[in-house]
Every structure is written in C-alpha cells, then in structure tokens.
Chain A
Amino acid sequence: MSETNQNNTENIDYMTDSRPIAVGENTPGCKKRDPIVVAEDVTRSFGGINAVDVEYLEIPRHKITALIGPNGAGKTTLFNLLTGFDTPNTGKWQFEGSSLAGVSSYKVARMGMVRTFQLTKVMGKLTVMENMRLGAADQPGERLSKALFKGMWGGREKEITAQANVLLEKFKLDAKKDDYAASLSGGQRKLLEMARSLMVKPKLVMLDEPMAGVNPALTQSLLDHIKNLKAEGMTVLFVEHDMNMVRHIADWVVVMAEGKVVAEGPPGEVMKNPAVIDAYLGAHHDVDLGDAEGIKVLEAELEADEESVVGTEDAGILSEIVETKKEDGQ
C-alpha cells in the first residue's frame, strides 16, 4: 500500500499537476501543500530602514514562483537572506526542513539551493566551457589533495563536460563555448549564468531577473527552459519585472512591497488584486503595447477612464499618436 503511494508521488507529472498549491485561502503568508522553503519572521534592516520584514512565507515545491514588487521592495535582499549571502536580524528560515540559520552561502548551495545574481556574475577571463565546468558538484579534482593527479578527476571531468555541452546547446551558447565569457553580450551572460547554476543540479533555482536584457525570441525559448526545469523536478523562484513572463510561466506569485509580503496567489488572481495594481502594476498593466490590438484596447480603456484625457477635448497630441498607431496597425 505504502509502495503504491510512493510510486504515485514519483509518477506525478509536475507540468500538469493542478492540485491546489495553497492549503486554504490564498492570503499573504498562507500555508502550502508542500513547501520547500519556509521563512518565519525574517527581518533585515539597513540603518533603521526595514529592507525585509517577512512574517511568514512558504515557497511551494515543484512549482514556479514569481517574486514581484516595486523597486526597493526587498526582493533581492530576501534572495540574499535565503541563500546565506546576508544574515537576517531576526527570524527562522529553512530549506527542505533543515534550518539555514548561520549556514554559510556555499553550504546552502551544496544543499541544492542555487541562485543567480541581478548583476550578472560570469568569470570573464575563463572560457564559457570553464564557467560551466566550475558549476559542477562532486569534482574530486577540486580538492587540493587530488588536484595533482589527473587520473583521479579526469573521468568526472568528462562527465561534467558532457553535461555542460547539453546545457550549452539548450541555451544556444554551444558555438561560444571556447570563447572567453568576457566576450559575451549582456544577454548571453545572463544565459550563461543560468546554465551554470543548473550545472549544480539544484533542487531550487533562484533567478534574479533572468530576462533582463534578453532579446524577445530568446525570451520565448528561455521561458520553455524554465518550464522544463519543473518537469525535471526542480523548483524555481524568480524575480522579474516582465509581467508577460510572470503571467506565462508562474504557478504562484508573491508580491512584496516595502519589505513585506502584501499578496500571494496564482498569477491571474494576484494581478486583479487592487492593492497589487496600485502598488506595482499600474492600471493598464494587462495591455500589451507591442501589438496593434493592444493599442486599441488601451485606447478604449483610456476613453472609459474618467481620469484620462484621451477621448476628451484636452487629448491634443495624445489622440494623434493613438490614431497614427492605429493606422500603422491596419
């Protein structure tokens, strides 16, 4: 009986798993069915300013969670606190049931919680391939006692290289693998950093603005990669300002403002939350200005909006812009 149960849990397709994420209502700080990270009363202040003041937060396992919020909301600081790059003033936080208080950042990474940085960190004077190899865990040659003898690490090095080749191909960096990472563009560095963090084979990947500076075509394929991480059993937590991306791939959205978690829930629900719209999204966030349809929708919305000048006599130049855009679109 217990065996079949276990099999069931293993056989779950994380891509299509639609069981509810939260236990009970989707309120800020709600309990999750299966949390991977639990943070309780985590606070961090910088000289009197409470950068992070999270009462209770759980990150659901095998899900893609987006962390959004206005600039200065404490998203990156929370990342730093969770991964051991910074120490909270108070609070408890744990990963897979083990407390992370006082655990140094490299140990956190070894436990399977790997992050990337908002300001991309690649090793410019190492080749792309070396950058990737650096990410791999369990390389005996990284111990000084074994480094001198290639026989002791050459085998593992081959496995690592094969693993890196697969990832580089996925991220379209395979043509660049022998170039120095310093020669990559900003977007390619983002990709390299993400690919490198996957070399660690993490359980939880924390991406800090993975899409900043990546071109639209690549964004699309990256979104697929991130979705696929879920299929491989990983959990993803990311900070992003691109709401389209959040809407497309996130299973769960956590909204932070002024260091606090102000809303949580599935993306569709959170983005309708008036508090979130006011604090962060802005009233017309769901209009995609990239296409002609979007312009029309926006125009219609603005005309209906009593505070807007569009559609009134004061519109002036604004109405012309909308008109020309409309013509271009047709």
Chain B
Amino acid sequence: MDFGFILSSALGELFSPTTAAYALAALGLAVHFGYSGLLNFGQAGFMAVGAYGFAISTLTFDAPFFLALIISILCSVIFAFILGIPTLRLRADYLAIVTIAAAEIVRYVVTTNQLTSVTGSANGLAAFENTFYAMNPFPEGSYMGMNNRDFFIRVVGWGLVIVCCVLVWLLMRSPWGRVLKGIREDENAVRSLGKNVYAYKMQALVIGGVLGALAGMIFTLPRGAVQPSNYGTELTFFLWTCLLLGGMATVLGPVIGAMIFWVVLSLTQSLLYGLIESGAVTWLTTVQAGQLRYILVGVALMLLMIFRPQGVFGNKKELAFA
C-alpha cells in the first residue's frame, strides 16, 4: 500500500471544491437548525435550486455570470418563501416534512421529460461553467500541483466559505442572532417579549437557503455538469452529518465537519482498496468497500453522538439535545 498516496489524496479532499460546497450548505443548516431551531431536511433542494438556477439562466437565457448568480440566489429566496409561508407558523416538525418533500419535488421536476429542453432531464445540463472560468485571473501553469482552473475554483469556493462564515458569525453575535437563539429555545416566550417570531424565522430560512444555493453552485461548477441524481435526500443527510460532526450552533463546526466527513471517506476508501488489492482482505470486493465507507461514517457519527454529542466544536452546555 502506498501510504503517501493515501495521505495526499485525503489531504486533497480537505480543500476540494466539493468540501467547500458541503461546508457552505452545512453552514446554512447551522443557521437553520443550530441557531433558529428550524428543522430543514431539504437543504439538497436549496442546492439544486441554486445549481439549476445558475445553469438554466446561463444556457437558456445566455445570462452573464453575475446575472446568473443573482437569478440563482433569487430563486432560492423564492423557494424559501414558498416553504416558509405555510409552515413557519406551525410547529417545527411540519417544516421538516415540507422541506424533505419540496426537495424531492424539485428533483422530480427537473427530471421530467417534458422539460428536457430546459433542464436536460435525467442527464442534466453541462457546459455552463465557461462564463465562470472566463474570469479566471490566474494564467495557465501549476499552482501547488493544480492547474489554473482547479486552483481558481478552490480560491473562489473557500473564499466564499470564509466570507460567509464571517457574515454568519457577525449576525449571530448581534441582537438579531440573540432573538434567533431565543426562538430556538422557546418561540412563545420570545413572542411575549414583543418580537415578530415569524419574520425572524423567515429571515433565517432565507439566509440558510441562500447559503445552500451558493453551495449548489460551488458544487456544480468544477464538475461542469448538474445532474438531478446528485441532489437526492442522501445529500441532505450527508450535510446533516457534517453539521453534527462539527457542532450545530457554531460557525466553524460545519466547515470542520465537512472536512472531517470527506477526509474520513477518502481515508477509509483508500485504506480498504489498498487492503483488498494487497490481498489482505479477501472477503470484500471494491464495490462493497465503497458502501462500507458510509457504514463507517455512520458508526463514527453514532460514537460521536454517544461520547461527544455537542460535536467537535460545540459547547456542551449549549447542547440542543439536552
């Protein structure tokens, strides 16, 4: 087994654009659940709305990059309103049901054959990333072993993660964030103090949703393709895993959680493949090993919940399960 290769590919995952996308989307979930108590099980839907919003406005309407970006953000805002208006007056569980259903609806709508000319149906859309790479300021060459395109998307993706983290941190230390945390604890008490709980919940839903849409774009740009199968419910639950790993009501938690998630996946995959190829493990095929990784992630999550339920960064006293 080539341990050097295993380690370098695991470290590569640490700063991959996909990890950045997961971090952003999980940060959105932290705004939703960690700070506001909104149970959003449809973050994949927000990511899909962001990705398709960008791809469709670029391909169908020939929009320049920033216009496509704004359209995609607007779409996620509208999506948040559609989800929030009927459910935010109700208990948290209703939002959970509606979001998980809405995310699936989005996925099925873009898969519909009737819309093939716009959404590309199950094959998805491709070749919409040129407006993005056209802005690449880095000339061709090797940057830390990456070509200029890979380097550019990493810089943009992680730059966006840092900016969003700072923004969320600023928001959550403000009195606005305090009201949100109060709503998470007991919305009737906050209401009795004269705060418009509904408006605050809506604002939180929109902010977390926009983070999800940005994540959707960062997720699709390096792939050069957006496919409905990427935005299934399992994506949402991977994001929840990242959030729980890192710590729910924290800013850095989702980011570190996403890094841990991908590094663990990469390490276990390389190790298992290495063991199988070297003949040390004969009772497992490489396909099975691919599935086993997720079982291991599940086990890791269970252990974490038992021994460090607040996540890596969370404050035990602020534990939402207590």
List the interface of chain A (C-beta within 8 A of B).
83, 85, 104-107, 109-110, 114-117, 121-126, 130-131, 133-135, 137, 139, 141-144, 147-148, 150, 153, 157, 180, 182-183, 193, 196-197, 199-200
Contacts and interface: CB of A to CB of B under 8 A. Distances in A.
Contacts of B191: 85, 105-106, 109
Contacts of A150: 174
B185 A123 contact: yes
Contacts, number: 106
B189 A144 contact: no
A173 to B, nearest CB: 17
Interface string B178-189: 110110111011
B174 A125 contact: no
Interface residues of B, number: 31
Given A117-B188, A123-B186, A133 B175 contact: yes
Contacts of A143: 176
A183 B203 CA distance: 30
Contact of A148 (B170, B197, B203): B170
**A contacts with B: majority SS:** helix
A194 to B, nearest CB: 12
Interface of B: 167, 170-171, 174-179, 181-182, 184-186, 188-197, 203, 249, 317-320, 322
B301 to A, nearest CB: 22
Contact of A123 (B177, B189, B196, B319): B189
Contact of B185 (A83, A117, A125, A197): A125
A312 B283 CA distance: 90
A110 B195 CA distance: 8
Nearest to B197: A106
Contacts of A139: 175
B193 A180 contact: no
A137 B192 contact: no
8 contacts: A106-B192, A106-B194, A139-B175, A141-B175, A142-B195, A144-B203, A182-B322, A183-B317
Given A123-B182, A134-B179, A148-B167, A141 B192 contact: no
A165 B186 CA distance: 23
B174 A147 contact: yes
B1 to A, nearest CB: 46
Contact of B176 (A115, A135, A141): A141
